[in-house]
Amino acid sequence: MTSQTAHAEPSDATDTDTDTAAIAVDVDRVSKIFRGETEVRALDDVSVGIRKNEFFTLLGPSGCGKTTLLRLIAGFEPPTMGAIRLGTRDISRLPPNQRPINTVFQNYALFPHMSVAQNIAFGLEMLGKPKAEVQRTVDEMLHLVRMEELKNRRTSEISGGQQQRVALARALAPHPEVLLLDEPLSALDLKLRKDMQIELKRLQHETGITFIFVTHDQEEALTMSDRVAVMSAGKILQVGRPRDVYERPAERFVANFIGESNFLDATLSGGTVELAAGGRFEVRVPEGVRDGAVSVLVRPEHATVHSGEPGEGEIAATAENVVYSGEATVVHLRLATGEAIKIRLANAPQGGEAPPRTGGAAAIRIAPGAVTVLRD
Amino acid sequence: MSKQAETPFPPGALEREAEIADTRNRWLLSLPAIVIIVCAAAGPLLVMVVYSFLTPGDYGNVKWEFSLDGWTNTIVQRDIFDDTLIWADAHLSIFWRSFSLSLITTILTLIIGVPTAWFVATQPPGRREFWLFLVTVPFWTNLLVRTIAVQELIRSEGVINLILLKIGIIDAPIQMMFTDFAIGFGMTYVYLPLMVLPVYAAVDKLDFRLVEAAHDLYAGRWTAFRRVILPLIKPGIIAGSILVFVPCLGAYVTPRVLGGGKNLMFGNLIELQFGAGRNWPLGAALSLMLMTAVMVALIFYVRITSREQADG
């Protein structure tokens, strides 16, 4: 967890550790500008290297450009600037039907006039595979997504979850080098979504295909991905393993978008921050942050709180609100500086140490390494 | 049903009463429609059926004597000299002309109309209405006026001939008026919107993400069209074809103006029986024949589409 965190800045075009593994898709300084009545810069000088056999997720709020990047990789739109390479081959100008890349569409886009099996066979037929091979691959795919019994159904006669699996099978059947998934789980209900998350991981593992997954759901991104790219306003803000982007977000936006956050004022001087509310912490200083006033992040579950006066290395606060929510209790506190902070305590069996009471004095202990300096 | 406990009525009684009232209301509400159907459709049709089995009157109209001549005369006729039955060649050639010209017209409107509909449907929403308006403008113009406009184009001193003469492609005007070509040309022009509109509606409904999916799965432009687009807009194409083919079969004004007295079509033949021919039973029989042909085509269409819907 030392140098894994990578920042996609225009200055260092790709993240530092992609050189270690073979690159499947190389997005090289790509911009996409939609010219209409107003000019929209959907992608702004984006560079990222997606490794072979990787489950890579593009995460961001709607309108951040993640779907545009996916459509560019698929070939539905050409990049305005920059290049997209498959391995070392430039595919920026190839039409979608000449790219060994398949897509699972957000609404599945299954052909309504074909059966489940015909849908899955479509790509193979287009590639001119012999009939017997098409038949065999279709059966394999039906087995892979556990849809053998419904192979002759029309796509309108099966449930959303089943359509989802057919869309997956259809995209996997031609065995593409890269599979693109555009928010494929967003239309499913929670339980089905959880099941499909595991299913997708299994499929990716079994097929060994590079998955590029687009979502706005941070939990989905964290649970499924090998690496995540957090996007906002047409830029990639940070690329890294789920743990890195969660625990070591580089920017306030990333910290805010992924998980719950406390932002506190602090002063940085040579690798140590002193919180305005008190307490000194050793920190890792991200590139481009100078000594002086900074903003730091503390995750709610990375600190504890107890009632009473603060001891050594603890911060005094007043409990304003205590909310029990089953597996945890969330304590909302006010620091001496007037800053608000919330802390999430895992609930112990009854009889354990009680959380502070509303309105009572409390002491906060922040775990070592839990303070992250943010680039603003 | 959950309110059973609160009502003093035996279970189901209220529902039954409501059902009876419902049925009564439904009949009352559909009465105007029934009256219109009986007066405007079923009634006249019955008159036609009855007339087709009567004897022609001397000055038009009918005599109330049963006769099958109206029906037999549609395809055979008695030789004037020896009274033997011979094929009514004139009628048969008119049937054939009607059928073949209608078919050709349908094909031409398909060739012109499908790309037009595609073009309009793929315009940005603001401009789409404008193009759609242009397509429908001829609808607001009288059919006769439109047909005469076509005549202005193709007559010997018409626009086309004048231009061709001027630039020296031809030495003498081409005879286009009063030919089958003129009828086909006119009908294609007149009925084109009937093809464009249903195809437009089908293309408009088409989910273009499916086309993207086809390209994504290695289909080229032509294959994507054949395997994905065409099957999905087929209902529109079939509807358009029937909307063109059926009125073409019975077309009257266009063949009359552009085809002249010689190149008759079915509609003109029927008109002739009620006019100069003074043979109302034959006219009625011909009308019913035409209607049957149209009905067969429609039943065929309904069966195709309903089978497809049953399939998914």
Domains in chain A: boundaries: 16-100+176-253, 260-374
How do strand A210-215 and strand A178-182 relate by DSSP bridges? parallel
A156 and B312 within 8 Å at the Cβ level: the answer is yes
The pLDDT value recorded for residue A186 is 82
Please state which CATH number belongs to domain A16-100+176-253. 3.40.50.300
Q: What is the full per-residue pLDDT of chain B (312 aa) written as tens digits?
A: 444 455 566 777 778 888 888 888 888 899 999 999 888 889 999 999 999 999 998 887 888 889 888 898 888 887 777 777 788 888 899 999 999 999 999 999 999 999 999 999 999 888 999 999 998 888 888 889 999 999 999 988 888 889 999 898 888 888 888 988 999 999 999 999 999 999 999 999 999 999 999 999 999 999 999 999 999 999 899 999 999 999 999 899 999 999 887 888 999 999 999 988 889 999 999 999 999 988 988 888 788 777 766 554
Rg (alpha carbons) of chain B, rounded to whole number? 27
The pLDDT value recorded for residue B14 is 79
Closest-CA residue of B relative to A155 is: B312
* Beta strand ranges found along B99-197 (DSSP E): none
Distance from CA of A257 to the nearest CA of B (A): 30
Backbone phi, psi, residue A315, to 5°: -115, 135
* 8 A C-beta contact, residue B26 and residue B39: no
Q: Is A240 on the interface with B (CB under 8 A)?
A: no
Closest-CA residue of A relative to B215 is: A97
| CA B24 to each of CA B14, B20, B28, B33: distance values in angstroms, whole numbers, following the listed order | 16, 6, 6, 15
| CA A73 to each of CA A48, A109, B277: distance values in angstroms, whole numbers, following the listed order | 12, 18, 73
Q: Is A208 on the interface with B (CB under 8 A)?
A: no
d(CA A130, CA A338): 72
CA nearest to A74, candidates A65, A84, A59: A84
A122 and B209 within 8 Å at the Cβ level: the answer is no
d(CA B30, CA B10): 32
How do strand A23-35 and strand A81-86 relate by DSSP bridges? antiparallel
Half-sphere exposure of B212 (CA within 13 A, CB side): 17
Which chain A residues in 66-95 lie under 8 Å from chain B, judged by CB atoms?
A: 74-76, 95
Please state which CATH number belongs to domain A260-374. 2.40.50.140
Chain B hits for A113, Cβ within 8 Å: 231-232, 312
DSSP tag of A356: P
Place of tokens 């069996």: A349
d(CA B62, CA B69): 13
d(CA A284, CA A281): 10
Write the burial class of residue B96 (CB in 10 Å: 0-12 exposed, 13-18 middle, 19+ buried): exposed
Which chain B residues in 198-257 lie under 8 Å from chain A, judged by CB atoms?
A: 207, 209-210, 212-220, 223, 227-228, 231-232
- Please report the ipTM that was assigned to this predicted complex: 0.81
* 8 A C-beta contact, residue B184 and residue B215: no
Backbone phi, psi, residue A115, to 5°: -80, 175
The pLDDT value recorded for residue B203 is 94
Q: What pairs with residue A273 in β-bridges? A: A268, A281
Q: Is A36 on the interface with B (CB under 8 A)?
A: no
A103 and B213 within 8 Å at the Cβ level: the answer is yes
Place of tokens 């998914």: B312
B213 and A111 within 8 Å at the Cβ level: the answer is yes
Which domains are present in chain B?
13-72 (no CATH), 88-311 (1.10.3720.10)
Q: How does pLDDT run across A67-104, given as a tens digit for each residue?
A: 999 999 999 999 999 999 998 899 999 999 999 999 99
Q: How does pLDDT run across A258-276, given as a tens digit for each residue?
A: 988 999 999 998 888 888 8
Q: Is A295 on the interface with B (CB under 8 A)?
A: no
